[in-house]
Structure 1
Amino acid sequence: MPKTSLNKTPLTKTPLNKKSILLVGAGKMGCALLDGWLDAGFAASQFNVLEPNPDALLTARGGEGVSLAAPTSPADIIVLAIKPQLAEAVVPTLRDYIKEETMILSILAGTPTQKLEALTGHGVQVRAMPNTPAAIGAGITALYATPNVSAAQRGFAETLMQAVGESLWVAEEGLIDVVTAISGSGPAYIFYLAEVLTANGVRLGLPQDIAERLANHTIKGAGDMLMGDTPAAQLRQNVTSPGGTTEAALELLMVELPELMKKVIFAAFHRAKELSQSPSEQD
């Protein structure tokens, strides 16, 4: 499997402050991106946002200098953040905003670059798969670039997505489906783990609020530890005393969880592939 690369490109090292950016779609992820860009130092005047139903926050951004109207000339970068099932209706209408050197950065789940090229007639594309923690600036985004994306444009894409977390590159577009199963759907796995921990704490006598705080803080703390240099396996071993409570729990967990998670991840992976072939099925 091709290697991935993890990067962090400072805003000051890319000339993005001179680029015009058209954001198409300003739902939760689109607004999170816009807020991240503005917080990172982009000028509000760089942005045009196309959103048919702007909320109060986006309207306020309009008062701060972000244009909520269509641009009057082609954009340097177009960021697609609409729902995937809207692609066939919306994306072809963007052709007037595309010039030869425009880069299209798409966060449309299940929508391959070949599909977008057919809709736009434009092949300079970066496909991105962020996850929901991007909404609080703690996401991780996998990026794939078509061959005609320049090194400078790759840097632009990195910087744009790093406004909401970390980013990494994959060498093959098909790996985006794997990313979807691991990090795209991954937060839901963790949220459900928190639900299960909480429910069993309550079952054993803890008040709901205490069980919930214990579960949530345990997951957050363990996640913070994973961001260090110690591998996950070593962290697990460090907290597992021979004959102790953790060992008793892990003896059961390590027998049943690997096969279950394999089924979970493969189910998500295969569904991602299905949606890539037929994105109109998406909710």
Structure 2
Amino acid sequence: MATLQLPGALLLVGCGKMGGALLRGWLKQGVKADQVYVVDLAPKDLDDVKAAGVHILTAPDQLPGDLKPAIILLAVKPQFMDEALAHYKKFAGPGTTFLSIAAGKTVAYFKKMLGADALIVRSMPNTPAAVSRGMTVLCRDPGVPAPTLDLCGELLSAVGEIAWVDDEALLNQVTAVSGGGPAYVFLLIEALAEAGRVNGLPADLAMQLARSTVCGSGELAHQSPESATALRQAVMSPKGTTLEAINVLMAEDGIQPLMNRAIAAATRRSRELAT
């Protein structure tokens, strides 16, 4: 990836795990530290970026009076968004784009809070961004200039892969699948380890096997050009042990209908957050 070039200051509102991962990703991609301002009420573990020259502030009123950010990335939790936006409405207008990573908060919501002229780009990243293996989906809003959309994509690709959708409503399903997806994978590790323990393995060995297997399989899926179906079938031998397990997992009451219900529930909740 080429060095990220910003047309102005970048303001990060909220610097928890996701915000911190993005911030460090930007610095690795060549963003100048002194172009970045962070506002977090209780900043933690930011000594390294502060030493690099990033401006770390604990309140919006500490921002320079003449600051005009090119991008304001909103990395606060949805339930705190109303309060946060009240401090940044003054920046809304030409020259500043608000890039949100908050689940459920729509473009219409942001325009209601910030004004009809505010430029808004919505996105949904996930927590593997912390190890530069994130997956982020952005909504391509025709009301936002193409170069600005490209810049938002570059900022989020600093921590992993990106994809675009034209229909904002699809971000609800994106939130359900990839936004929450890491939790489902971690639950798979827990369940696989517990099944090993129940079937006689020592608990610590069962967890080691489960974690290593899921991590290794994920990396294989990442590197291989083959489909997930082909990779699964390559592990299965006719009349073998894996086939016996797969027959259970792919039964009518197996993992697929359960996952369908789980994603439907998460999608429904994402829509509810917008109301």
Structure 1 and Structure 2 fold alike (TM over 0.5) = yes
Alpha-carbon deviation of 1:99?
A: 4.0
Aligned amino acid, residue 64 of structure 1:
A
Indicate if the aligned counterparts of 1:123 and 1:146 stay in contact, CA closer than 8 A. Answer: no
Structure 2 partner of 1:184: 179
Determine the C-alpha separation between the residues in 2 that align with 1:133 and 1:85: 23
1:77 aligned residue (65, 71, 81): 71
Does 1:49 pair with 2:45? no
Structure 2 partner of 1:226: 221
Does 1:144 pair with 2:139? yes
Are the structure 2 counterparts of residues 44 and 15 from structure 1 closer, same or farther at C-alpha, using a change threshold of 3 Å?
closer
Match runs of 1:202-221 below 5 Å:
202-221=197-216
Structure 1 partner of 2:22: 33
Match runs of 1:105-144 below 5 Å:
105-121=99-115, 122-144=117-139
Structure 1, gaps ≥5 residues long: 1-9, 278-283
Structure 1 partner of 2:60: none
Are the structure 2 counterparts of residues 258 and 60 from structure 1 closer, same or farther at C-alpha, using a change threshold of 3 Å?
closer
Alpha-carbon deviation of 1:221?
A: 1.5
Determine the C-alpha separation between the residues in 2 that align with 1:84 and 1:34: 20
Indicate if the aligned counterparts of 1:22 and 1:47 stay in contact, CA closer than 8 A. Answer: yes
Structure 2 partner of 1:7: none
1:104 aligned residue (98, 101, 104): 98
Structure 2 partner of 1:259: 257
| SS of residue in 1 equivalent to 2:68 | coil
| SS of residue in 1 equivalent to 2:135 | strand
Alpha-carbon deviation of 1:163?
A: 1.3
Identity rate, percent: 41
Alpha-carbon deviation of 1:125?
A: 1.3
| SS of residue in 2 equivalent to 1:75 | coil
Indicate if the aligned counterparts of 2:93 and 2:118 stay in contact, CA closer than 8 A. Answer: no
Alpha-carbon deviation of 1:92?
A: 2.1
Structure 2 partner of 1:280: none
When the two chains are superposed, the root-mean-square deviation of aligned CA atoms in Å is 1.5
Structure 1 partner of 2:46: 58
Are the structure 2 counterparts of residues 137 and 235 from structure 1 closer, same or farther at C-alpha, using a change threshold of 3 Å?
same
Determine the C-alpha separation between the residues in 1 that align with 2:259 and 2:143: 37
| SS of residue in 2 equivalent to 1:140 | strand
Determine the C-alpha separation between the residues in 1 that align with 2:80 and 2:225: 42
Alpha-carbon deviation of 1:197?
A: 0.7
The CA deviation string for residues 95-117 of structure 1, in whole angstroms up to 9 with x for no partner, is 23344121111011111111111
Determine the C-alpha separation between the residues in 1 that align with 2:33 and 2:168: 32
Alpha-carbon deviation of 1:59?
A: 4.2
Alpha-carbon deviation of 1:135?
A: 1.6
Does 1:11 pair with 2:8? no
| SS of residue in 1 equivalent to 2:137 | strand
| SS of residue in 1 equivalent to 2:136 | strand
Aligned length: 265
TM-score (norm 2): 0.92
Greater RCO, CA 8 A, separation 6+: 1
| SS of residue in 1 equivalent to 2:256 | helix
Structure 1 partner of 2:159: 164
Alpha-carbon deviation of 1:15?
A: 3.4
Indicate if the aligned counterparts of 2:104 and 2:273 stay in contact, CA closer than 8 A. Answer: yes
Does 1:274 pair with 2:268? no
Alpha-carbon deviation of 1:222?
A: 1.3
